[in-house]
């Protein structure tokens, strides 16, 4: 849920607040990392391709994020993931491909 009292809105167009795109992409990237990781793993954001912003996200919106693992090379720890975010069923953000690198916990 996006609320007006979040700190990014004080400097990001205070008279017409919108959620910064970089924060939307970061949230989606974190979700992608969580989907791939096992307990103890460290996930590194290694790349992004094909970002499209479809509509501004504003206070009062509920941002629903979805990711899908398209390719996972477990031996080398590389995952290719697509993602999208929606407000009221309307796509507001899409990412053609995230690349995540997983660093396994040393035993």
Residues 6+ apart with CB under 8 A from 15: none
> Which residue is catalytic, options 6, 12, 56, 65?
12
* 104 assigned to active site: no
CA pair distance 104, 21, nearest whole angstrom: 30
What count of Cα atoms within 13 Å lies in the side-chain half-sphere of residue 66?
Answer: 10
What are the catalytic residues?
12
């Amino acid at each position: 849920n996006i609320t007006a009292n979040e700190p990014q809105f004080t400097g990001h167009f205070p008279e017409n607040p919108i959620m910064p795109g970089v924060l939307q992409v970061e949230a989606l990237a974190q979700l992608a990392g969580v989907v791939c990781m096992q307990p103890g793993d460290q996930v590194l954001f290694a790349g992004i391709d094909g970002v499209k912003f479809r509509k501004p996200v504003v206070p009062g919106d509920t941002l629903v994020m979805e990711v899908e693992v398209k390719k996972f090379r477990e031996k080398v720890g590389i995952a290719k993931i697509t993602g999208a975010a929606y407000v009221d069923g309307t796509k507001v953000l899409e990412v053609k491909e995230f690349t995540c690198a997983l660093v396994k916990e040393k035993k």
